[in-house]
């Protein structure tokens, strides 16, 4: 299936791209602002798609501009579909703001109506996917969500101001990506309300501050609940890359040396590998898994790249001075023995390996 994504470079678009890259028999047609630069560009985009997830829109700015932009983008998409004679399955990213009397909510209602009317005329499928607040790695602080803002501030050691009792509902972008993909496979139509985690702003901030306190002590917090795992992954994304590698305290006496490799209530899985000089392991990425690389002997380079980007980050580590790198989600990664002798590496993941749901997707680090 060729799945087109408008707004593909935004928070949700980036997560959806990363998720779909790992799905079999799926081709992603990535669409940024250039898709709406002209009628010809929009038509060229829709001709490539068996399905379209329409995420492009505006959620910040003057009320009139926000409303006009969201409606105009849907109208331009419909005009292109009709001009090109295409009838793909369309999913529209709506918002629980449709329940509110705001310019943004009104524009989302009207935009959905434009797409629904087109689907009725064309005899094709349309689903209006109503989402709560969406957060995730790569979110822009002070723009995408309160989670992005708080994660950014807490990671910097700041204390955010908050209306502690205000209720919020939040959902991680990977959960949305999985839901969108499932809806396309099911051929879903109509209004689909996706449920998030309900909590208060104060509870959100308390969780993040707790993560920060524990992680600064080299402790991975309890992330056995999916929401907590997703929130912790988002928090630590704001520490990357400057926080890593993290040196571990080395306790040395006449008997030798000792260090604590991992501290966490999660259990998880630990394994040890040996790698010959010049050999590389890895070249894959994860969407949810917390994974630690810790070289215990020899010298290595750990390389990482966001799956939708080109920049490669390199960390040089060695066993004599143990330091860990916790791999960020959505980043393909590998480790290479760059020394003359055998490389020994300890790997830890927060969950047991599940061959039915491995959350491991092949992707070379070095961009082709």
Encode pLDDT of 221-247 as tens digits. Answer: 999 999 999 999 999 999 999 999 999
Residues 103 and 81 in one domain: yes
User: pLDDT value at position 63?
Assistant: 81
User: pLDDT value at position 117?
Assistant: 97
Mean pLDDT over 267-296 rounds to 97
Residues 107 and 210 in one domain: yes
User: pLDDT value at position 275?
Assistant: 98
Residues 59 and 182 in one domain: yes
User: pLDDT value at position 59?
Assistant: 77
6 SS3 class: strand
pLDDT digits (tens, 9 = 90+) for 143-172: 989 999 999 999 999 999 989 999 999 999
Residue 47 above 80 pLDDT? yes
The mean-pLDDT minimum among 94-108, 171-185, 247-261, 330-344 falls in 94-108
Q: Is residue 244 part of a domain?
A: no
Residues 41 and 140 in one domain: yes
Torsions phi, psi of 226, nearest 5? -55, -40
Q: Look at residues 199, 218, 239 and tell me which one is the last residue of a structural domain.
A: 239
User: pLDDT value at position 155?
Assistant: 98
Q: Look at residues 214, 239, 264 and tell me which one is the last residue of a structural domain.
A: 239
Mean pLDDT over 62-69 rounds to 87
Residues 140 and 263 in one domain: no
**Domain tally for the chain?**
2
For residue 126, the tally of other CB atoms under 10 A from its CB is: 22
Residues 273 and 226 in one domain: no
User: pLDDT value at position 268?
Assistant: 94
- What is the band of 66 on the pLDDT scale with cuts at 50, 70, 90? confident
User: pLDDT value at position 162?
Assistant: 86
Contact 293, 271 (CB under 8 A): no
Q: Is residue 143 part of a domain?
A: yes
Q: If 0-12 CB within 10 Å is exposed, 13-18 middle and 19+ buried, where does residue 141 land?
A: middle
pTM of the complete model: 0.95
Residues 54 and 122 in one domain: yes
Residues 105 and 233 in one domain: yes
Q: Is residue 367 part of a domain?
A: no
Residues 149 and 125 in one domain: yes
Contact 362, 283 (CB under 8 A): yes
User: pLDDT value at position 166?
Assistant: 96
Residue 67 above 90 pLDDT? no
Residue 54 above 80 pLDDT? yes
Percentage of the chain lying above the pLDDT 90 cut? 92
Residues 9 and 135 in one domain: yes
Q: Look at residues 211, 239, 267 and tell me which one is the last residue of a structural domain.
A: 239
Residue 64 above 90 pLDDT? no
Residue 368 above 80 pLDDT? no
CATH of the domain at 297: 2.60.120.10
Q: Is residue 150 part of a domain?
A: yes
Mean pLDDT over 34-52 rounds to 97
The answer for residues whose C-beta is within 8 angstroms of residue 181's C-beta and 6 or more apart is 19, 20, 23
Residues 187 and 284 in one domain: no
Domain carrying residue 37:
2-239
| Dist CA 331 CA 321 (whole Å) | 25
User: pLDDT value at position 284?
Assistant: 98
The mean-pLDDT minimum among 65-74, 174-183, 286-295 falls in 65-74
- What is the band of 115 on the pLDDT scale with cuts at 50, 70, 90? very high
| Dist CA 8 CA 303 (whole Å) | 25
Residues 176 and 321 in one domain: no
Q: Is residue 181 part of a domain?
A: yes
| Dist CA 81 CA 37 (whole Å) | 15
Q: Is residue 155 part of a domain?
A: yes
User: pLDDT value at position 40?
Assistant: 97
User: pLDDT value at position 101?
Assistant: 82
Q: Is residue 53 part of a domain?
A: yes
Q: Is residue 80 part of a domain?
A: yes
Residue in 173, 141, 196 with CA at minimum distance from that of residue 19: 173
CATH of the domain at 51: 3.40.50.720
- What's the order of all strands across the beta sheet hosting 313-318? 313-318, 299-306, 331-337, 280-285, 361-362
């Amino acid at each position: 299936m060729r799945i087109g994504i408008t707004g593909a470079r935004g928070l949700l678009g980036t997560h959806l791209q990363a998720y779909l890259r790992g799905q079999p028999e799926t081709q992603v047609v990535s669409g940024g602002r250039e898709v709406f630069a002209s009628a010809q560009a929009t038509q060229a985009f829709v001709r490539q798609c068996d399905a379209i997830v329409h995420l492009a829109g505006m959620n910040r700015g003057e009320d009139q501009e926000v409303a006009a932009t969201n409606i105009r983008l849907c109208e331009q998409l419909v005009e292109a579909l009709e001009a090109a004679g295409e009838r793909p399955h369309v999913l529209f990213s709506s918002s629980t703001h449709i329940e509110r009397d705001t310019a943004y909510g009104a524009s989302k209602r009207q935009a959905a109506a434009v797409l629904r009317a087109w689907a009725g005329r064309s005899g094709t499928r349309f689903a209006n996917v109503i989402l709560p607040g969406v957060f995730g790695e790569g979110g822009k602080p002070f723009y995408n969500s309160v989670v992005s803002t708080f994660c950014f501030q807490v990671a910097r050691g700041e204390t955010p101001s908050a209306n502690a009792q205000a209720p919020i509902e939040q959902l991680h972008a990977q959960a949305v990506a999985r839901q969108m993909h499932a809806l396309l496979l099911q051929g879903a139509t109509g209004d689909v309300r996706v449920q998030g985690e309900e909590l208060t702003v104060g509870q959100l901030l308390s969780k993040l501050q707790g993560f920060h306190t524990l992680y600064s002590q080299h402790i991975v917090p309890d992330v056995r609940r999916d929401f907590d795992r997703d929130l912790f992954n988002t928090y630590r994304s704001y520490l990357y890359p400057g926080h890593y590698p993290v040196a571990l305290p080395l306790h040395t006496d006449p008997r030798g040396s000792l260090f604590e490799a991992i501290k966490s209530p999660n259990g998880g899985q630990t394994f040890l590998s040996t790698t010959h000089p010049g050999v590389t392991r890895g070249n894959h990425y994860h969407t949810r898994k917390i994974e630690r690389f810790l070289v215990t002997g020899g010298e290595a380079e750990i390389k990482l790249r966001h799956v939708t980007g080109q920049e490669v980050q390199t960390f040089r580590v060695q066993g004599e001075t143990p330091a860990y790198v916790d791999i960020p989600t959505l980043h393909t990664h590998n480790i290479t023995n760059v020394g003359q002798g055998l490389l020994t590496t300890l790997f830890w993941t927060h969950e047991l390996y599940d061959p039915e749901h491995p959350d491991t997707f092949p992707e070379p680090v070095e961009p082709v």
